[in-house]
Chain A
Amino acid sequence: MTSLSVHAPGKAPELPGKRLSFGERRLKLDCGVDLPGVTLAYQTYGTLNAEKSNAILICHALTGDQFVADQNPVTGKPGWWQVMIGPGLPIDTDRFFVICANVLGGCMGTTGPSSTDPATGQPYGLGFPVITVGDMVRLQSWLIDHLGIDKLFAVIGGSMGGMQVLQWAATYPDRVFAAVPIACAARHSAQNIAFHEVGRQAIMADPEWRKGAYQAEGTNPSRGLSVARMAAHITYLSEAALHRKFGRNLQDRSAVTYGFDADFQVESYLRHQGSIFVDRFDANSYLYITRAMDYFDLAAQFGGHLPRAFKDTKTRFCLVSFTSDWLFPTSESRAIVHALNAVAANVSFVEIESDKGHDAFLLDEPEFFKVLRGFLDGCAELRGIR
């Protein structure tokens, strides 16, 4: 394993990168709590131009982080979207100023359940208020204010990142020139809530979870978190991809062992995915962030009518889905397109042929790259970015 350090919850403040602390300023959360002492951890790439017109905000997915285009200090691996963001790449850091912040509730430096509760001096644990995608975006807007940017050139994200993109476009339509929601939905489906619940139950069933107080008690519910990750990981792939990668191949053996060892390669692979995940993620963060996704229902914020979320929008949208993504299938993107058409918004929608499932948005998919590059180039021309 390539981990540089085991990421024990609470160690996030020591991670490298930029921090913005808001001290006594209270973040108004959808649940009714006013959260004080909020810190936001973020990274930037490229240079903000004099007009401040070339900023792109990248929103990360459930288990992503702010290290989108440079080496992840916890895993030592390249940034999660380093194939997409960099000099000469579709999101070209020679042209654009790229910002990516760890979400509220995260465990990579932004305030979350593993942070210290200023009221008690102890880690929040389950004392952390339940957060929403709307709360995440509200906090990001503070960062954009701090950077002196009135209008983002683009907000881009996949999966939960795509939900944030939609929320940005709905809440701050005048601050988003272009929006790229990728492999996402305007509301989390029953099936997806169900998968999240399995993950949460796995964590909470781990005796080391200690009702969320594992930091104070010096335990770590890594088995539960690892099972949650294994279940989730299946949803990120596709039947075709699993079959192509593993089939029914056996792991380092020529016959099944009539036991419960990892006989099959696919089992061994999932166990590995689970075990490396717990080194970089916090179990309570997993509970809180999956909950935020479950609660996401953009139409509900606008009287149950999704087009109302985008009324009179001037934002240029580009939605992307992938053929084999069954977690956020094309029909979800299409529903958003229908809503955008209902308000005659400027919208592009492409479905990319891929057998790699939901994870395709993180991978080198040439057609996807071509489309995103073209969309951003077209928008940059209109925005006057050279």
Chain B
Amino acid sequence: MAIEVRIPTILRTHTGGSKTVEGSGSTLGALIDDLDSKHSGLKDRLVTEEGKLHRFVNVYVNDEDVRFTGALDTEVKDGDSVTILPAVAGGC
């Protein structure tokens, strides 16, 4: 068992074109570190220099937006499904 991670189209350049990859870790932050070790460059796209999740990216663990569950500290476990999406917003 592992954690399944769905990758948005533009970030599939880091995963050899794969739509879904697998990783492990006890928190979202650890999972992203694990993914980055296999898919180099992924972490830089998701996490800012200050170590925070990029504000223009939405990440969900199962159905929950991690913004409301502790961001990178959100706990994850085998069998969870993580989805990464571009935030869609703007204004005049």
Q: Do A and B come from one complex?
A: no
B interface residues (Cβ-Cβ under 8 A, vs A):
none
A interface residues (Cβ-Cβ under 8 A, vs B):
none
